[in-house]
Amino acid sequence: MRQHAARDPDTLHRHLHDVQLLLSRQRLVEGLVHRQSMAHQDLVESLVHKQHEAALGRKLERLHPADIAWILEALPFTERLLVWDLVKADKDGEILLEVSDAVRGTLIATMDRAELRAAAATLDADELADLAPSLPTGLMQEVLADLDNEERQQVHAALSYPEDTVGALMDFDMVTVREDVTLEVVLRYLRRFNALPDHTDKIFVVDRGERLRGILTLESLLISDPDTEVAAVMQGESVITFAPQDDAGSAAKAFDRYDLVSVPVLDGARRVIGRLTVADMVDYMREESEAEILGHAGLREEEDIFAPVIRSVKNRWAWLAVNLFTAFVASRVIGLFEGSIERLVALAALMPIVAGIGGNAGNQTITMIVRAIAMGQVEPSALRRLLGKELGVALINGIVCGGGVGVLAWTLYGNAGLGLVMTAAMTLNLLLAATAGVLIPLIRQRFGKDPALGSSVLITAITDSGGFFIFLGLATLFLL
């Protein structure tokens, strides 16, 4: 699983600045050397180039793979490939896991099959399963052929589970012991390891059939009498476990609720087949959060900020097309009231306020509902209560904010009726925004769609068209 180094933003930006500075100096000096005429021109240029590459290579060698991945994502395409070529080969696999899916493709495209096989050889089984979808067709079979039988079975197991399940996220690196041995035996056993698996806070106690009997925390191991048997200090009841088919989102909530670090994953016969760690959950929650942010803006997938123009267009066009259609609908709504606007020009100045406030309120509502859905806090039976609550909020905000804007409109244009219409229009549009903000994500969820995808586009379309129609319609009825 992707694991990130603990770096503060200032440190990351300093590393990026250092790399960019080295690249800039390289271009400047090599350009000056190239323009000068001297003996052995090619040799001098080659030496200067190698000198700068060595300086950049030394900088990269000191960085964690996660930091290098972040720097690669922040560099334009040409500079990214130059830096990628200087990375030590033993870091390639980790960096490919760390970078975004969009950037990973550009890096893999520059590697031959031998380089990719070497990079894959440095990864654990669960990490190979993460990388597999990005590898060229057929290469995964070559990679699997390089593994021993146990590792090959683990990779197949990880790939067999659907995305967003515990099985797809679990790792296989763990420590197990028997319950009938002493803690001294366990300590001697652990000393044989060069290093314990990351995020090891507990040891899984199993029987001879690898079925879970309990857990032995490192705290109990260290503070208890070494002559004590594992069975006497292990926790055998109320142990939290997951099945590989369990939803990853539910597992993430459990990690957050119970402050977990690692949890055993059991098959149907209660055999320990893997474990889930806090690092896996942090990665999952970050990816889900990023997907929600992108979906809210109508982006279909994560995008390389330096991607070719055509690729970015393909990622963005669908919801832009929807937005274009809804904007046309809004314009036609305004067109229905051209005569009213011509007779009372103040309507043109005030109607964007109605639409803008409605859009903002709708986005607030939809954000709260999408978050609640993601947290598993919204059941279908709660629809009536949610809608009632949001309509109550919208009504109060409409009366207060709309009343204030109505008084302002009355003061500016000397028309009390216009102020009343403004107040009524804002209140009605906020009620419309609240209704749409609740229903849009719940309806999308009901039909198995991402509740966040394109939600901002849809709510803006409804509040714009609805706001214009309500305001101009009320003005036409009562003022003209």
DSSP 268: T
Which of residues 259 and 32 earns the better pLDDT score?
A: 259
**Statement to judge: residues 162 and 185 lie in one domain:** no
**Statement to judge: residues 288 and 334 lie in one domain:** no
Q: Supply the CATH number for residue 284's domain.
A: 3.10.580.10
Residues near 422 by beta carbon (within 8 Å), at least 6 away in sequence: 350, 353, 354, 402, 405, 406, 409, 471
pLDDT for residue 2: 44
Mean of per-residue pLDDT scores for the chain: 87
| SS3 state at 114 | helix
Residues near 205 by beta carbon (within 8 Å), at least 6 away in sequence: 176, 177, 178, 179, 212, 213, 214, 215, 216, 230, 231, 234, 236
Could you tell me whether strands 202-206 and 176-177 are parallel, antiparallel, or unpaired per DSSP bridges? parallel
pLDDT for residue 34: 56
**Statement to judge: residues 314 and 452 lie in one domain:** yes
> Mind giving me the DSSP string for 297-314?
TT-SS---TT--HHHHHH
Does a structural domain hold residue 321? Answer: yes
- Domain of residue 197: give its range: 176-296
**Statement to judge: residues 355 and 390 lie in one domain:** yes
Separation of first and last alpha carbons in the chain:
66
Does a structural domain hold residue 302? Answer: no
Give the span between the Cα atoms of 243 and 61, in whole angstroms.
40
pLDDT for residue 4: 44
The pTM (predicted TM-score) of the whole model is 0.71
Does a structural domain hold residue 3? Answer: no
Q: Which of 113, 143, 166 is the last residue of a domain?
A: 166
pLDDT for residue 419: 93
Number of domains making up the chain: 3
**Statement to judge: residues 66 and 123 lie in one domain:** yes
Most confident of 73-77, 122-126, 192-196, 241-245: 241-245
**pLDDT tens, position by position, 347-364:** 999 999 999 999 999 989
> Mind giving me the DSSP string for 149-218?
HHHHHHHHHHHHSPTTBHHHH-B----EE-TTSBHHHHHHHHTTSSSPPTT--EEEEE-TT-BEEEEEEH
Does a structural domain hold residue 402? Answer: yes
Q: Supply the CATH number for residue 162's domain.
A: 1.25.60.10
Q: Supply the CATH number for residue 458's domain.
A: 1.10.357.20
Does a structural domain hold residue 161? Answer: yes
**pLDDT of 5 over the 50 cut:** no
Does a structural domain hold residue 353? Answer: yes
**Statement to judge: residues 181 and 229 lie in one domain:** yes
**pLDDT tens, position by position, 60-101:** 999 999 999 999 999 999 999 999 999 988 999 999 999 988
pLDDT for residue 24: 85
**Statement to judge: residues 181 and 162 lie in one domain:** no
Residue 271 forms beta bridges with which residues?
Answer: 211
**Statement to judge: residues 359 and 461 lie in one domain:** yes
Give the span between the Cα atoms of 276 and 281, in whole angstroms.
8
pLDDT for residue 25: 81
| Residue 406 confidence class, pLDDT cut points 50, 70, 90 | very high
Q: What percent of the chain is predicted at pLDDT more than 70?
A: 91
**Statement to judge: residues 39 and 142 lie in one domain:** yes
pLDDT for residue 452: 74
Residue whose C-alpha is closest to residue 456's, from 321, 295, 329:
295
**Statement to judge: residues 149 and 199 lie in one domain:** no
**Statement to judge: residues 343 and 448 lie in one domain:** yes
**Statement to judge: residues 147 and 23 lie in one domain:** yes
Give the span between the Cα atoms of 73 and 313, in whole angstroms.
19
Radius of gyration of the chain measured on its C-alpha atoms: 30
Q: Which of 124, 139, 166 is the last residue of a domain?
A: 166
**pLDDT tens, position by position, 175-198:** 999 999 999 999 999 999 999 999
**pLDDT tens, position by position, 364-402:** 998 888 878 776 777 766 788 889 999 999 999 999 999
Q: Determine which helix (DSSP H) or strand (DSSP E) holds 266, and give its type and residue range.
A: strand 262-266
Q: Which of 111, 146, 166 is the last residue of a domain?
A: 166
Residue 274 forms beta bridges with which residues?
Answer: 265
Residue carrying the six token digits 């001879």: 208
Does a structural domain hold residue 17? Answer: yes
Does a structural domain hold residue 301? Answer: no
Residues near 225 by beta carbon (within 8 Å), at least 6 away in sequence: 183
**pLDDT of 3 over the 50 cut:** no
